[in-house]
A and B are shown apart, each in its own frame.
Chain A
């Protein structure tokens, strides 16, 4: 059997998904035994022109990290889609916008002003903004267009599989590479490298159906390591988050912030979480419930931490 051809790319990403992949350590040598890397900017020196030169469908599997933030991200996503048999949205940025998707709480003009004019480390007295085309004496330089909104990968191309996490754990990445190498691919559209149940279902902390009278920020209380964090007043996203990360945060005594995204069938993790919270709040009146809920700092930023562009809201006005 000929070796698999693998590509990996980052659009608006942090590189954490790449590093999680490299964190399979010496097993990367086993990957090299079954697959040839044909594009992977963080690790290997292929250029866009190389990818353009490949025949359509030349790449067997493309692991695509990052949100679509600008025209270059969209252009390369479309190029890699054309050149790849299988496209995987890898990590929460690609699936639903991820952390870069928090920019949909802001406006493009305000982002530009903050970054290129106002920021304390910027010196730009002529107030120059990046231009998509800029004439220099030797020719014209091009920069991508920064979009008004952050998009997910599936907003711009057809996606075959989704691998959640910010980043996905290395153990899950290794397991998924095994599935890819075996050729026994799941049905199109499947979420891979995760479980089809909530994090709460896999959590061993004691739950007592205790209701919450007050919410806290993690630094405000010392939690009991044996008991459910939500019942102790921390906004743990476990009830609405897909399991599969080996419960990393809750094992470290920190509430889940939801990076594995919503469980199957839920399209809006934040809205689902609001309804989950409603069932744990201990209030005698709607006013009291309002008061208790209003103590949660930045609920939108927390409940849509990894998925504002992919949610029903998509952006704040």
Chain B
């Protein structure tokens, strides 16, 4: 016998969150809604803090497309603004650029230094190696690199960071399981990143404790309540290279809204752990993305 409650619970949540806007026949590319994902803080297609194997925008193997985004993370003692754009070609290659600006008034005050901002440029490239996030039985797999250049290296070097620039390399596998859980579509994403960055390289690369690349794990899991709303969580392991302060792994829980193929909005509660001796950096994250 089929339980009325199970169906009711799922459909009830779906009803509550159903966006009134329906699928539009937009010009922004031939892929399905939400398959371009959002843009993570470093400018690659992904969630909030973790990249995915999917490429930005909605271009199929015969098209080109792209996105632009702004995002803000606001924790107790820090604020990180990111802005950027990505372009992808034939659902094969993604190129991205982002500028990040970290405000650290508390830390600057504590250190007694005038700089209260760290800016960073990120240039990313991603190549889809294999598969399709929706249609192949195996996950979509992509390889990516993010070149990052810290523009305000005074505080990072004081903290013990060795380099103001470096390259992260990653391999991502992403799969949408149609009707995968409670008849809802489930998104799973796993990333291995080779990096020696400190706090997403906002505190530079390498340190006194360790100055070589290591493999860290990042992952995301989400549940599509319906075609427009995704709830989920992310995890991003952090290297711990500096003896001056320990780095803790980042995590968040998020809600993403895809009203149509032009826009998406992500809101999250993030927990970045301790950053540069300031404890318990929890707070909000919001990002808005436009696709073309």
A and B associate:
no
Q: Report A's interface with B, CB cutoff 8 A.
A: none
